[in-house]
Amino acid sequence: MVAAEMIIAAGQFSAGSDPGENTTAARRLIAAAAAAGAQLVVLPESSLYGTSEAAGAIAAVAEDLDGPFIRNIAAFAKEHAIAVLVGTYERTDAGLPYNTLVALDRRGDVLGCYRKVHLLAANQTGPLATGFSMAVDPAGVVVANAGEEPGLIVARLSRGRLARVRAQVPVLENRRYAVVPSPDVTR
The number of domains in the chain is: 1
184 occurs within a structural domain: no
pTM summary value: 0.85
Do residues 11 and 33 make contact, with C-beta atoms less than 8 angstroms apart? yes
Of 73, 76, 15, which Cα lies nearest the Cα of 48? 15
Averages of pLDDT over runs of 10 residues in the chain (187 residues) are 87 93 97 98 92 82 96 98 96 88 98 82 55 86 90 92 87 73 61
23 occurs within a structural domain: yes
Please tell me the predicted confidence (pLDDT) of residue 110: 97
55 occurs within a structural domain: yes
126 occurs within a structural domain: yes
Please tell me the predicted confidence (pLDDT) of residue 120: 57
Do residues 65 and 114 make contact, with C-beta atoms less than 8 angstroms apart? no
180 occurs within a structural domain: no
Beta-bridge partner residues of 26: none
187 occurs within a structural domain: no
183 occurs within a structural domain: no
Please tell me the predicted confidence (pLDDT) of residue 126: 52
DSSP character at residue 63: B
154 occurs within a structural domain: yes
Do residues 51 and 21 make contact, with C-beta atoms less than 8 angstroms apart? no
Please tell me the predicted confidence (pLDDT) of residue 122: 47
For 40, the domain range is: 5-174
Please tell me the predicted confidence (pLDDT) of residue 82: 98
